[in-house]
Structure 1
């Protein structure tokens, strides 16, 4: 898909990857860009920076009603949604199975059900019009896991699986689906130095946006701003036990680091 003349909705677009994507879509000639975020003032600032083709709408993706309202408002204003970028995410806190249920629940909603709810809201209208684009922002953690945070790694796996299922179920009916799986990117979530242990190569949102645009043009499933992720994923599939052993060593090193 070429983004020119398309109506695009981007969630989590007040900063980071989402803002970078919204800005890039506008530069590539989108007819309209909906900058959606739970932080409306910051979303408005991004939309104002883009110009007349952008509007800001508040959306808490942990609430299905908010997602339904977002799609409804975008459709009423612009006649339909051509591309939906389900991008919002949270990092939470470092830890494992001891972390409280409330944190796990937030992660499940934002990294899992938000994509389901978005697809429920927007995919039917896309199929009625002959097609559309649905992109899920997951993470390299969704393909490879992450040693610092069990909720993050587990729920990002769910995000990848949801994107896969949508492509399987609707790919022959005109829906194009991609899944964005970066490693470290310069965002609010990584500003304090958190991120995957031992991973270098922090990219800018603009660099990620370039990969996303190219992926959408080619209609490939995986958008990998860090190409080495493909090699790690291949190694995981070729020898799962060896890969798990390497991750165990990485986890042990992480736990030995001074806090």
Structure 2
């Protein structure tokens, strides 16, 4: 899909990958609603973009009514939404014993927000015969994240939901892509390191030690080129595909290798 002339919503747009995606979309001719739970951060991104083709909206994607309001605002300002980037995400605390509320928050933001958005967007796209859903997951959704069970589980689920959307609606005009980067230079990458826990620090070291840390602008460029080709799996770090192949070829060997890698990070 060419984004020129299209209307897009980008959640988690107040910085990082989301902010870079919003800027890139506008640069290529799209009109964009930049949404973030931090409304000031969203406004800062729009101010930096510096055009009437982007507006900022504060929205909490863990609330269905707020997502509905976000879509309504986009339609009022720009018209029917063509692309929805379910990009908002959180890491979740490291470890297993993190409490029900932390699990619920991770599930709400990293998975249920995608489901809520699809419930609102997909029926209209099917009627129109065209629409594009882009879910931001993570390489952790393919390969598992050392440190945070909540992050790993919810990102696996986000990949699974995107696959289901594509299988179920792909022949009805609904395009789907799933973004699965490794390390990107955003605050999210360093959340584990800053958690003051051993597992959190391991999580950050695991990602930064596995491959290059990319800039958000680089990721945004890769995403836009992938959308033109309508690729499902978007891998800014090409080595993730090789790792994924090794995992599928010999699961037990891959698990033992991950345990060795985890142990090596402890020094």
The TM-score bracket by the shorter chain reads over 0.9
Q: Which of 187, 195, 208 is equivalent to 2:219?
A: 208
- 1:189 partner SS: helix
Partner residue in 1 for 2:138: 139
| 1:182 alignment partner, SS class | coil
Deviations 1:63-83 (A, max 9, x none): 111111111221232220010
C-alpha offsets along residues 147-189 of structure 1, whole Å, 9 cap, x if unaligned? 1111100110000001000000000000000000000101121
1:239 corresponds to which residue?
250
Native 8 Å contact 2:9 2:84 kept in 1: yes
State which drifts further: 65-74 or 191-200. Answer: 191-200
Match of 1:49 in 2: 48
User: Is 1:199–2:210 an aligned residue pair?
Assistant: yes
SS at match of 1:190: helix
Hey, what does 1:83 align to over in structure 2?
83
Tell me the equivalent position of 1:227.
238
Aligned residue for 2:188, secondary structure, equals coil
CA distance in 2, matches of 1:237, 1:196: 24
Say whether residues 1:7 and 2:7 are aligned partners: yes
Whether 1:169 aligns to 2:168 is yes
1:251 Cα deviation (Å)? 2.6
8 A contact 1:80–1:125 mirrored in 2: no
Question: Is it true that 1:103 corresponds to 2:102 in the alignment?
Answer: yes
Q: Is the 8 A contact 2:9 2:32 kept in 1?
A: yes
Aligned partner of residue 177 in structure 1, secondary structure: strand
Render the CA deviation track for 1:5-44: whole Å, top value 9, x for unaligned. 10010000001000000000011111x1100000001101
**SS in structure 1 of the partner of residue 4 of structure 2:** coil
Q: Distance in 2 between matches of 1:91 and 1:106?
A: 10
Deviations 1:113-142 (A, max 9, x none): 000000011111122211111000000000
TM-score w.r.t. structure 2 length?
0.92
Q: How much has 1:191 moved relative to structure 2? A: 4.2
Say whether the 8 Å CA contact 1:147–1:250 is kept in structure 2. Answer: no
> Unpaired runs of 5+ in structure 1?
none
Q: Is the 8 A contact 2:190 2:204 kept in 1?
A: no
Quote the residue 2:200 is aligned against: none
Q: Which has the higher helix share?
A: 2
Structure 1 position 253, deviation (Å): 3.2
Q: Is the Cα–Cα contact under 8 Å of residues 86 and 133 in structure 2 kept in the other structure? A: yes
CA distance in 2, matches of 1:176, 1:204: 26
In the aligned structure 1, how far is the partner of 2:161 from the partner of 2:205?
23
Tell me the TM-score normalized by structure 1: 0.95
**Matching residue of 2:199:** none
- 1:252 deviation in Å? 2.8
Determine which of 232, 251, 255 is the counterpart of 2:262: 251
Cα contact 1:146–1:196 (8 A) shared by 2:
no
